[in-house]
A and B are shown apart, each in its own frame.
Chain A
Amino acid sequence: MEYYIYRNFTVENLFKGIGASYSGYGDISHIPKEAKNYIWFYLPPVKMNQNELITELFDFQNKFQLLFEQIPVSKTVIAFTITTLFDIKFENGNFSLLDSINSFNNLLIETASNNSNLKIIDIRDFQKNVNQSLLDWKYYYISQSLITPKLNSSFKLWFEQKLEAIQGKRKKCLILDLDNTLWGGILGEDGIEGIKIGDTYPGLAFLNFQENILEAASNGVIIAICSKNNEEDVLEAFSNHPFQLIKEKHISAHRINWQDKVTNIQELSDELNIGLDSFVFIDDNPIERERVKQMLPMVEVPDFPEHPYLMSSFFGEMYHNYFQLYHLTKEDKNKTQQYISNSERSINQKTFASIDDYLESLKMELEVIEANKFTIPRIAQMTQKTNQFNLSTKRYTENDLYEFINQSSLVHCLSVRDKFGDNGISVASIVFINGEVAEIDSFLLSCRILGRNIENAYVDFLINLIYDKGIKKIIAKYIPSQKNRQTESFYENNGFTLEKTFETGVKLYFLNIENKRKIKEYYKFKIIS
């Protein structure tokens, strides 16, 4: 059973096909252990007596708290907010119904901020999206459904997007065109003075669009530019146009040239170390969009609005579809800064005599953290999102990780800091212990910390850690994926013995630990438990 749904009305029409079982109406007495996740979905019942209705809404709070306390922290609870479905105002200026609704929703928000296993989905967001009443009286009277079955498919789609956001399966980078996208007009023809961005329409619509993009950037979306223009004209417009908000410093990489955009996007993917399937490409020109769609089907290419006044709603929808994250981790917020300091780092690298000198100069601080309720959301996110430096590409949820810990597996992550900045948690490892043998199930690094040999130092560290537990035998696997080629010789390079290569390309390794490994001193590991 994937989901067990606590509800107070008919919801079967909304969750058809997702593998759900349902509680009785308003019943919280049963907590089936076999459910992977629990959903709470209550809505204000149809009751005309205002006092009774409000009393019942306050009672939702008690029920929810009672239920939530009994669900183990290793299980995810997805709770829907409540909203007004209909409101006959018997007295003008009486806000007690609204008050009781807000009060329940605030309880959810407060509980979620103290419990990472509670995720909230805001039903008011759906209400806003469909722009019609959720309650259809005819269907209510024939089926007691508070949400009309007419909205079944829109609900399903919306709910799936919310789940993706909760599971962290989102895009990473926004590639932007410039002319008639970031500003009105064509820079090469109209000049800096002629392009439209400013405080009157249509310039204002472009200004708002840029504001939205900066907001996305501060929420962890990486910004890149791909435009047919003269680079120096663009850089001049970036620094000298009084209304231009997006500056060079906000952009992690750019291709401003006359080369075709498909090649440019591929180059951006290499430079940023991000797979093509993590890109969203925004361009006003339908021909460019079509070409990218044809040649790079993994890149998302939304249709761009024909009128500047539609750009804000376009942005909102685009962001919701591709970038909305549920739980923003600290790492996301710093991401733009990290990609920028990475290129500063590679400039710096060139002036040192040996790589050791350089690595030493970085003053790396590596905190090894045993998985706990604060780090598990980030570790799960990394298993979901890391593709390139990932030896086995196994995707795990927070619940899976809790289960591993319960089975005494070693689940660790590594927080990496150096003189250029804090990269946050960017390495994760999962090791299963089967008696005398340790099995490295997952070993992965975020690509933004590659180039510092941390992966080799950390595998040595991990081997020593296993050795200290009295275990001398390690097995490990490399499982090939479309993206992890760069790791195919990782274990050989770190002294493991290749035992067997299977037809599928999976490689099986053994290691007998004879002595603890010596780790270069500039990798300052510190264990936090």
Chain B
Amino acid sequence: MIKQQVKKIMAEVFEININDIEDDASQKTISAWDSMDHLNLIVELEEKFDICLEPEEIGEMITLEIIVKTIENIKK
């Protein structure tokens, strides 16, 4: 569920098709995922999930899997 929501946000921020975002997506596989859009992604994630991410977490959230895990942990 969270994974699907994150994919949707990623598709919007990176301006790509949601179907092109695989489960193993990462900064390496998505070329639009640069440092600028990384920040935009974080802004959207914080707003949509109503969470506050720590700078350390933000630095590590460079794959879809880690992003989903981090959010799940906060939401627990």
User: Which A residues lie at the B interface, using CB under 8 A?
Assistant: 12-13, 16, 138-139, 141-143, 145, 149-150, 152
Contact = CB atoms under 8 A, between A and B. Distances in A.
A13 B59 contact: no
A142 B35 CA distance: 10
B47 to A, nearest CB: 8
A139 B39 contact: yes
B39 A13 contact: yes
B43 interface: yes
14 contacts: A12-B36, A13-B36, A16-B36, A138-B55, A139-B39, A142-B39, A142-B55, A142-B58, A145-B39, A149-B39, A149-B40, A149-B42, A150-B43, A152-B40
B66 to A, nearest CB: 16
B35 A143 contact: yes
Contacts of B40: 13, 149, 152
B43 A152 contact: yes
B36 A142 contact: no
Nearest to A16: B36
B35 to A, nearest CB: 7
A23 B47 CA distance: 31
Contacts, number: 23
A142 to B, nearest CB: 5
Contacts of A138: 55
Given A139-B39, A143-B39, A149-B43, 15 more contacts: A12-B36, A13-B39, A13-B40, A16-B36, A141-B55, A142-B39, A142-B55, A142-B58, A142-B59, A143-B35, A149-B39, A149-B40, A149-B42, A150-B43, A152-B40
Interface of B: 35-36, 39-40, 42-43, 47, 55, 58-59
The 6 closest A-B pairs by CB, nearest first: A149-B39, A142-B55, A149-B43, A12-B36, A150-B43, A143-B39
B38 to A, nearest CB: 9
Contacts of B36: 12-13, 16
A53 B60 CA distance: 33
Contacts of A152: 40, 43
A526 B49 CA distance: 69
A141 B55 CA distance: 8
A142 B36 CA distance: 11
A298 B59 CA distance: 48
Contacts of B55: 138, 141-142
Contacts of A12: 36
Contacts of A141: 55
A208 to B, nearest CB: 37
A145 B59 CA distance: 15
Contacts of B39: 13, 139, 142-143, 145, 149
Nearest to A143: B39
Nearest to A145: B39
Contacts of A142: 39, 55, 58-59
Contacts of B58: 142
B73 to A, nearest CB: 19
B53 to A, nearest CB: 8
Contacts of B43: 149-150, 152
Contacts of B42: 149
A87 to B, nearest CB: 24
B36 to A, nearest CB: 5
Nearest to B40: A149
A105 to B, nearest CB: 29
A142 B38 CA distance: 11
Nearest to A150: B43
Nearest to B58: A142
Among B39, B40, B55, chain A packs the most CB atoms within 10 A around the CB of: B39
Contacts of A143: 35, 39
A141 B53 CA distance: 13
A143 B36 CA distance: 9
A374 B36 CA distance: 41
A348 to B, nearest CB: 61
A13 B40 CA distance: 8
A12 B35 CA distance: 10
A142 B57 CA distance: 11
B50 to A, nearest CB: 14
Contacts of A145: 39
Nearest to A10: B36
A13 B43 CA distance: 12
A138 B58 CA distance: 10
* Residue of B40, B42, B43, B55 contacting most chain A CB atoms (<10 Å): B43
Contacts of B47: 150
A138 B56 CA distance: 11
A207 to B, nearest CB: 41
A25 to B, nearest CB: 15
A16 B42 CA distance: 17
Contacts of A16: 36
Nearest to B41: A149
A141 B42 CA distance: 14
A149 B42 CA distance: 9
Nearest to A139: B39
A135 to B, nearest CB: 14
A149 B13 CA distance: 13
A149 B55 CA distance: 14
B67 to A, nearest CB: 15
A144 to B, nearest CB: 11
Nearest to B59: A142
Q: Which of B36, B47, B58 has the most CB of A within 10 A?
A: B36
B51 to A, nearest CB: 13
A365 B46 CA distance: 65
